[in-house]
Structure 1
Amino acid sequence: MTAASIPAATGGDYAGYLDGKTMVPEQGDYYLGRDGLPAEAPGRWIGNADALTRVGITPGPAHADDLRALMAGHRPGQPDEFLRAAGPDGSRAAGIDVTFSAPKSVSIAWALGDQAQRAEIEAAHRAAVEQAVGYLGRTVELTTRWNPAQGASVPAPAAHVHAAEFVHTTARGVGDGAPDPQLHSHVVITSVERTDGRIAAVRSRPVLRSAREGGALYRAQLAHELRQRGYGIESAGEDGRYFRIDGITPDLEAAFSKRSVEVQRAARAFRAEHGRAPERGELRALAIQTRSEKVPHTRPELDASWQATAAPHGFDRAQAAELRAPGRPATLPVADRWAEAVEREATASRAVFDARELRTVALEQAAGHGLAPADALAGADHLRGTGRVLDLADGRMTTASVREAETTISTSLQAMAADSARAIDAHARAAAIAAVEQRIGAELSAEQRAAIDTITAPGRAAVLIGPAGTGKGVVIDAAAHAEQAAGREVYGVAVAGRTAQRLGESAPSLEGRVKTIDGFIASVEHGRLPLDTRTTVYVDEAGMGDTDRLHRLTELVAERGGALVAIGDGRQLSAIGAGGMFDRLAAELPSAELQTVHRASDPAERDAWHALRTGDARAALAFYQERGHVHLSDTRDQAIEHAAHSYDQLASEHGHGQIALMSDASNVEIDHLNLRIQALRRSREELSPERLAHPDGHHFHAGDRVIWTRPMPTRDGARVENGQRGEITRLDGDRLAVQLDGGDRTVTVDADRLDALRLGYATHVVREQGATVRRSVVVTGSWQTSRETAYVESTRATHGVEWHIARDDLDGHHDTDRLDQLADRMSASRAQEPSLNVELHDPARLPDDPHQALHVARLHSPAAAPDLDRGADRGLELDR
């Protein structure tokens, strides 16, 4: 589900666009009729019949004139009778377009089926859309109501919605090519009826925020409708959020997305060459250039084109008919697998979540596990009632498994800290400090020496808090050196392989003794690495460690009698998954904090870093503005273009390895930056004319910077880690050679492993945490911006950072207003929080709470009842 507000000024044209009457359709586009002639898109009114009648709508087909009237805010046929009040500027919002798109496999089954099968699939789709719209109406605060107690209007669900649905069956045509099949509905919600009977405009932001939940319900209901009609349904997507009709393969899905992919690749190449996205006419020209088949002009020709696309995959109308097996029993719900998936995905990104997230995940997992939406929502309540999902005192939730993992980490490490088994004498520490001072040619500071004392103390657990640029590497190096002098084994670990490598580079005592957390655990469990009472494990960037990994590592080290030192900074980026334990451990365990910044020589810049770290972004931005390092562009595209040119110039002066180009937005933006810089270098003939195609459509040249996006084994046995960078030195047929940064090692990458690489000029800010460069160039300012991203972005460089910001990402009539909003975003923390920071909800405090815990003692102290059979409630029977 996607949603977009319809501006008042364009409401009339948009109604005509949906109805198909105000423009001549492009060949092969939305509105090609079954007889090959342009046809209007049929629409229908959905919602309560009486409510529609009250605003002058006759339930049934949706006519453009009636739709225009409601979008303009007046009664159909009576332009002087306005149904809802105008806004402050005198205009009336036209409404919001909510679009529900079927999964690709459903569209393919529709495209290749006969008329009866198409009608059946359309009926299932319409039923799912109607259920989703009704759900949004009941659960989303689409309007307001007067609250006497507060003396103000407060958000509230509507009594009824006024909505028209338009079903389309192809993707928008680009140029003259054949469109891909895409069954989808545009639902225009023009207005709502409040509980007091008044007609009001739709509050669009709550709809936008509920898009994921509404889409999940639509897919769950669509899968349920198709099962009832005899279709087999299987889970799809890495996280199981989607579904696929059984019998339609991923290869067939890809074949029916080929046209869109070709156009996207052509548009991406245009953008790389010109530094902007192609306009409509230019995109049409690109589409014509990529066309390689006869253009369909009629519906029969379009059908024939689709059949030809499916034929190489051994799929035709007969196979489409076999997808449906009348009388086939609907898939029985797999309640235990569904419940496990819900528990896992609810905490996939954070340790705590709210009721909406639980509902959304329950609905997302329903489609592939055989549950109707109502069953999934009932099952979510069942998980709460049985204690698998725990209610927290502040109204949020967590899962029992996450709570137990956090409790184990906390209690185990506190017990380890109290165990004085580790013995490192003062002589070993002094000798280690002297060795490190000789290596760096400078004396360690008093705070660095105190930190070494803390993390080498007799206890088996400690924390080192190391803000950016404070020289934690020399502290770790000295501590590890002292441990080795005392006859102990030391290892360094981190979530990411490149982070672990950086630890070995900054602390030579650990060189050759670093691994990812997963790799270290596997090596110990398989007997390849020793871990016993004489072993210390240094966990770098521990704040980025998710709870599951830290739990497994803590249990292993505690069980084997080793010691653990967690190193990090809770003010920098958090874990990708459920996390947030670092700050809590820093408060519970013996801790040392480094405060003096050594990376930046300018005291004013150090102050700016501190301001960003503590949430005073206004002071930091004032500093960067004064230095001329804040660059405002009108659009995001322009900001990206300016950042690319700035990076290109700086890299030409100082070398690519000394300049960081970062964005806190999507991978799509990273790709735009990378391809643009490659094009700039290619225009200066800095790259070889020979090229090697990457699976996603772009090309590599000798001279290109690349980065690994996943670990890759090599022929010499030492794998290349995720995040490692290098430069392509030569192309050899269908393989290439890359010289890795930080040494003279060269590795060969065969064609079948090219998908492990991407261009490495620009990266997401997450990959840069822990890096040190000369200068940084940052594109930021959108909704993803936060205190943590801004702090990491600003602190990578020894000689300054420049910020590239788009005005259209920020609200306001003047740049001062926009920069104020940017400061607010840069000051807002999105740090992870462990569930242990919030007490559990006590059912006894609210006797009428519907979610009475069955295992109260266990919920309040998970470790107190380790023998409780969690599997006893996994065979739950859901009311159907």
Structure 2
Amino acid sequence: MTVSIARLSTDAGVSYLLKTTSHADVETRDITGYYTDASNPPGQWLGAGLPGIEMSTHATVTDAAAKALFERGEHPTTGASLGRTPNQATTVTGRNGQPARRAAVAGFDLTFSVPKSISVLWALGSDAYKDKIMAAHHTALEATLAWLETSAIHTRAGHGGVAHVSVHGAIAAAFDHWESRSGDPQLHTHVVISNRAQRVSDGAWTTLDSRTLYKATVAASQHYNGLLYDQLGRDLGTEAEVRIPTSTIHNFSFELAGVDDELIREFSSRSRIIDIEAARLIHDWSETHGREPSNAVKLKLRQQATLSTRTAKNHDIIPLNTRTRQWRERAQARGFDPEAVLAATINRSHTRPLTSSDTDAVWITSTAGLVKDLVARRRATWNRWNLIAEAERVCLEIRCATPADRLSLMDAIATAAEEQSVALNEFRYSIPTTTAPDLTFNGRSVFDLASAHLFTDVSTLTNEEAIMNAHTHDAGPHLNQTTVQEALQQFISRRGEALQGEQRRAAEAVLASGRRLDAIVGPAGTGKTTTMSAVKALWEAHFGTGTVVGLAPAAASADVLGRELELATDNVSKWLYESTGPGAAIRAGQYIHAAERYQAACQSPRLDNQARKAMERLAQRLSALTSTQSKWQLRRHQLVIIDEASMVSTYQLAALLDQASSAGAKVLLVGDPAQLDAIDAGGVLGWLDRTGCAQRLTTVWRFTNDWERAASLKLRKGDFDVIADYDAHERISSGTYDAMVDDAYNHWDADIRTGQTSILIAPDNDTVAMLNERAQADRVGTGAVDAEATVGLSDGLHAGQGDTILARRNDRHILDDTGDFIRNGTLITVSGSPNPDGSIDGIRQDNGARILLGASYLAESVELGYATTAHRSQGITVDTGHTLVSEGRLTRELFYVSMTRGKAGNHAYISEPDPRDHHGVDSSTLPDWREILGGVLSVEGAEHAAHEVHEEQQNQANSLSRLLAEHDYLAQIAASDDVTHLISTHSPELVTVMRESASWGAMVAAWGRTAVIDRNLAGQALADGLRPADGARDVAADVQSSLQALQRRRRSEETLGTVPASVPTNRDDLQELLSDVQQRITKRMAEVAVHALANEEPWMGVLRSQTGLQANDGTWKPLVRDVAGFRDRWDIDNPELPLGSMPASADWNHSDQRARLEARITAAHDSTPTTTSPEPTARRQSPVPVVGPSL
């Protein structure tokens, strides 16, 4: 991704960027300094919000101005505070257990990095070409920033940020850098967007909505790419092309035509720096010893080079003209003349770029269909950002005449794709065109964010409905329940394991059910395989051998399933390919062709001997084709077990269920939705689980330690407290990346050497390659691996006898000596030296079979197999697991999978930012290991089914929590207008000072609530507080305190369960929206009450016990209505406690409403003759003063 995003703290701010740039506090530099200074160029101001701080676009960023804005939140010139003062840094436990400070967010670093081929062209070009490429980069990033300003950069207001409010634009400082940590050319710009922005509605300073900005980053990255290639095409005549990877484990790339892949690799990674240092060490060794070193020695020297090149980023910047000379020399040394590279790249294109008028509605609609289909293939639901990103990818080879043309084209395609999609939520409010800025954002209500509009596809909904219908279908094959119960009591697995209680119950529910579809869900280590083996055994005992079919999402996992359950298995994609997909279609065509020839022969009046033989061969062919097709067809009374079902896409499950239904078979899904999800649109297994349609296994058996069994379940749920559990048992290590790589490797290696099975899990492929290379070098050193005769692998490394290698592609033509084929994920030990043709002999580690791998397969689809990624670790069980964690690399699901592989122990090694890489930054402001793990647990990667998302969206859109927050926001505007008018009338000199007070929002909220109770008393409290300020007194805070005291005294006069009132307003737009919201609140209150009284939920039984009331008691229904409304208002989902648990921090209204309901519950109990002791309600906490919405 060419655009990334990161938060910056107020303590660190942009210090690390300013550190390596020229400063312009004194004078403006000459343009030649760009090439000759030992620093990066000074930053420049960007953004439409610059007038708010009296700065101009492209003006130089000075140290003083940047620190004032980003670190102190102040106007760079006047020193005035831009809104509230940044929150004081909080103290947490930091590195080595020492206290550390966490600062407020100063801004967001959007880093724009050009594709590697463009960096290479820039590095090798003359100063004139450098300027043009840099200008194209700046044009693209500024157009992208302007686009984000109109669609993503805004602020939020109201409770929970319910309203999306326009700002005048971003205030950003852009810093150009041109090299990577290792000194390779890497042209990139840090665009640091201030977390301060000025509201359009009233000019007030506030903070940005970071959630929308983060969601827009991928689309921004794709948009920037398109704009950059457009600009280079216009300015330099370049062409871009898709590069097909040489290895099956790499992705396609898009680079400039004329810049060779080998040249890109020269400047692309740290491995090249290691190569250079290794070559130097080998040369020195040869000079010293007078001979060429052996391969084993070379590997040791390469390991030495790897360690010696681990350095922090060089902060003594080398002048660009010096770097250019070095880069050109490196290119020449690799056989690439810089001038020839330029000549091959520049002025290639003679195609006229596209304008918005060149496309018609037919093309837009057609392209939008492609975009929608591609997104629907990968996602169950999507938003506009997803469509724009996909539109840019689809149109990657299309060049546009101007940035406006590209934006218009992408918008048109995305809009058309939305129209071809099915909306899952709606824009709830219609507003007139004259609506004021405080009520509208991008042409819609502030409560209706366009990018939050979610979509799905008709095919997704149809497939999900088919799956759920199969679960409710009760005419499928099944066994007698009594027979099943007796057999399960006697069942013993191949491993000698009897079924435990919940395993028996799950197996019984599946076997005795007539449903076409059943599911078993269980966390890692709960005995899903044991339960499946019982189901398989009883099913075949009743319906016959071979009536159970095993499927899994990958060939390797299908192979494991087959060995564990002793049945024929395959992967889902292969089954669908052969049963109803292209495989079946090819056979059908062959059958038709052979049948036509056979029929023609039969109609011949005379058949000689040769013709009869031909007919026999055709008959044999027809028989073989039907026999082959029959192998891939389901039959009546069969059971299809799909293991790791969360990784199977929705359309695949629907297709399999369709086959099963037609054949009279049954499907059983087994897996864990909290583990890895489907690559394509999925979420069905989680949906079945959350709707109570799956049998659950909850008892963990895998781990040796009891505490780890409980901890794994907390980890699965994303419970942050689990971090302390693993830390207390010394399962977490932390430090720099290099230190953690060493630590994880050493512990894994020690376990292997003591005879334990162990897995080493890395966060990315580069780290996997580094660990693989290190493991190989160590084994060469002990003589376990022969490095003298090797073969090349797809990861750029080599393998010799004794090495462990990993296959990365299924190939059914490569068979072992048992007739089994090679699978993606198969580990193999190289058993001999390479053969003359470059092939190698190996022994599979899963079944012990011998196998021959050819040179081409090795070069394209095999890598060293000592370390692995989390994605490839699911389904593996070993003695110990060692997992490396880097910030932003893992989701909760990936971390959970990684930390549940080892039976005896699972260890995490957390890579913290190295302070040496952030010179000038207070190390305490960098994220520590707890913060990094917290971030991992907070990122849920599992997808939800479209039906489930639709229901969630409907509930959220119409909940009292949201509606009352919307009402509060509108009432706050009305109250602000009202109280401002009163203050202007009585004490106009106090208006400005009070509005600038940090207590203004809270005071307005208090005024609005108090004025609707008793406007006269509220007005008196306001008048009493409007005495002249003495300089030290905060008038707004004093008035707030008086109003809240009055509000507490009169609060009991309000009735719960009524629509809140608001102060009057003379604004038509505001009154119209207020009335709409109030009507929705009235409707929702009625719906909540009806639902609660019609459905006996668990909390109602507790409430009945607490009060002693019965359904026919006159006070029961009003109490249930108000408790149900309270639960909906405060998002309480605890099924047992009527009022939920008291939150650690609740606003005054929450505390007050809870207290009043508790009093009613107590009163009802005291007045009801009963012997039932009430269950204790949660302890009341002291009310916390309400903080009004930040206006």
TM bin, normalised by shorter chain, reads 0.7 to 0.9
Name the one with the larger helix percent. 2
Of 796, 800, 813, 1:697 maps to: 796
Residues of 1 paired with 2:747 and 2:665: CA distance? Answer: 48
CA contact (8 A) 2:371 2:391 kept: yes
2:457 maps to which residue? 400
Residues of 2 paired with 1:74 and 1:692: CA distance? Answer: 59
1:634 maps to which residue? 735
Of 740, 745, 752, 1:644 maps to: 745
Structure 1, unpaired ranges of 5+: 23-30, 289-294, 850-880
Residues of 1 paired with 2:481 and 2:16: CA distance? Answer: 80
Of 548, 552, 556, 1:498 maps to: 556
CA contact (8 A) 1:661 1:763 kept: yes
Where does 1:712-861 land on structure 2 (aligned, <5 Å)?
712=811, 713-716=813-816, 718-732=820-834, 734-754=838-858, 755-780=860-885, 782-783=887-888, 788-806=893-911, 822=933, 826=937, 829-839=940-950
Of 742, 756, 761, 1:662 maps to: 761
**Residue 506 of structure 1, CA deviation:** 1.4
Give the AA of the match of 2:844.
L
Of 516, 533, 554, 2:635 maps to: 533
**Residue 434 of structure 1, CA deviation:** 9.9
The worse-fitting range, judged by mean Cα deviation, of 390-399 and 717-726 is: 390-399
Which SS does the other structure have where 1:132 is aligned? helix
Q: What does the per-residue CA deviation read over 1:34-69, in whole Å, with 9 as the maximum and x for residues that have no partner?
A: 9985588666856479x7577565655637678767
Where does 1:606-621 land on structure 2 (aligned, <5 Å)?
606-614=709-717, 616=719, 618=721
Q: Does the alignment pair 1:521 with 2:621? A: no
CA contact (8 A) 1:223 1:243 kept: no
Residues of 1 paired with 2:414 and 2:81: CA distance? Answer: 40
Of 152, 159, 174, 2:168 maps to: 159
Where does 1:325-364 land on structure 2 (aligned, <5 Å)?
325=350, 327=352, 335=364, 338-344=367-373, 346-347=375-376, 350-364=379-393
The worse-fitting range, judged by mean Cα deviation, of 158-167 and 483-492 is: 158-167
- Cα distance change, pair 621–262 in 1 and its aligned pair in 2 (3 A): closer
The worse-fitting range, judged by mean Cα deviation, of 203-212 and 400-409 is: 203-212
Q: What does the per-residue CA deviation read over 1:319-360, in whole Å, with 9 as the maximum and x for residues that have no partner?
A: 434413275666966535642453255456642334444444
**Residue 723 of structure 1, CA deviation:** 1.7
**Residue 316 of structure 1, CA deviation:** 4.9
Q: Does the alignment pair 1:686 with 2:749? A: no
- Cα distance change, pair 483–225 in 1 and its aligned pair in 2 (3 A): same
CA contact (8 A) 2:5 2:214 kept: yes
Count of residue pairs the alignment pairs up: 812
Residues of 2 paired with 1:164 and 1:780: CA distance? Answer: 31
Give the AA of the match of 1:220.
G
Give the AA of the match of 1:740.
R
1:103 maps to which residue? 115
Of 113, 137, 143, 1:131 maps to: 143
Which SS does the other structure have where 1:454 is aligned? helix
Q: What does the per-residue CA deviation read over 1:743-785, in whole Å, with 9 as the maximum and x for residues that have no partner?
A: 2212222332224223333323332322222232333484555
Which SS does the other structure have where 2:884 is aligned? strand
**Residue 583 of structure 1, CA deviation:** 3.3
Residues of 2 paired with 1:601 and 1:464: CA distance? Answer: 24
CA contact (8 A) 1:252 1:310 kept: no
Which SS does the other structure have where 1:558 is aligned? helix
2:509 maps to which residue? 454
Give the AA of the match of 2:137.
H
Which SS does the other structure have where 2:831 is aligned? strand
**Residue 711 of structure 1, CA deviation:** 1.7
RMSD: 5.3
1:437 maps to which residue? 492
CA contact (8 A) 1:643 1:779 kept: yes
CA contact (8 A) 2:34 2:40 kept: no
Which SS does the other structure have where 2:654 is aligned? helix
**Residue 648 of structure 1, CA deviation:** 1.2
CA contact (8 A) 1:351 1:402 kept: no
- Cα distance change, pair 327–623 in 1 and its aligned pair in 2 (3 A): closer
Q: What does the per-residue CA deviation read over 1:53-91, in whole Å, with 9 as the maximum and x for residues that have no partner?
A: 775656556376787677687999998856758645699
**Residue 495 of structure 1, CA deviation:** 0.5
Residues of 2 paired with 1:581 and 1:162: CA distance? Answer: 43
Give the AA of the match of 1:757.
V
Give the AA of the match of 1:562.
A
Which SS does the other structure have where 1:731 is aligned? coil
The worse-fitting range, judged by mean Cα deviation, of 344-353 and 815-824 is: 815-824
1:489 maps to which residue? 547
1:414 maps to which residue? 471
Q: Does the alignment pair 1:468 with 2:468? A: no
Residues of 2 paired with 1:490 and 1:235: CA distance? Answer: 45
**Residue 599 of structure 1, CA deviation:** 3.2
Residues of 1 paired with 2:276 and 2:666: CA distance? Answer: 55
Q: What does the per-residue CA deviation read over 1:455-493, in whole Å, with 9 as the maximum and x for residues that have no partner?
A: 334544322334433333343334334444424533211
**Residue 516 of structure 1, CA deviation:** 0.7
- Cα distance change, pair 254–419 in 1 and its aligned pair in 2 (3 A): farther
2:414 maps to which residue? 380
- Cα distance change, pair 72–725 in 1 and its aligned pair in 2 (3 A): closer
Which SS does the other structure have where 1:833 is aligned? coil
CA contact (8 A) 1:33 1:299 kept: no
CA contact (8 A) 1:498 1:722 kept: yes
- Cα distance change, pair 156–240 in 1 and its aligned pair in 2 (3 A): farther
| TM-score, with length taken from structure 1 | 0.76
**Residue 267 of structure 1, CA deviation:** 8.8
Q: Does the alignment pair 1:262 with 2:272? A: yes
2:198 maps to which residue? 194
Give the AA of the match of 1:519.
K
CA contact (8 A) 1:775 1:798 kept: yes
Structure 2, unpaired ranges of 5+: 90-102, 279-298, 401-405, 428-447, 585-627, 916-921, 964-1071, 1077-1191
Give the AA of the match of 1:778.
T
**Residue 32 of structure 1, CA deviation:** 12
Which SS does the other structure have where 2:821 is aligned? coil
- Cα distance change, pair 801–190 in 1 and its aligned pair in 2 (3 A): closer
CA contact (8 A) 1:189 1:202 kept: no
Which SS does the other structure have where 2:876 is aligned? coil
CA contact (8 A) 1:20 1:40 kept: no
Higher radius of gyration, 1 or 2: 2
Q: What does the per-residue CA deviation read over 1:292-320, in whole Å, with 9 as the maximum and x for residues that have no partner?
A: xxx99596896687688685899655443
- Cα distance change, pair 257–381 in 1 and its aligned pair in 2 (3 A): same
Q: What does the per-residue CA deviation read over 1:148-202, in whole Å, with 9 as the maximum and x for residues that have no partner?
A: x66999986642444455666x545956xxx54x554454556865235577898
Residues of 1 paired with 2:770 and 2:14: CA distance? Answer: 33
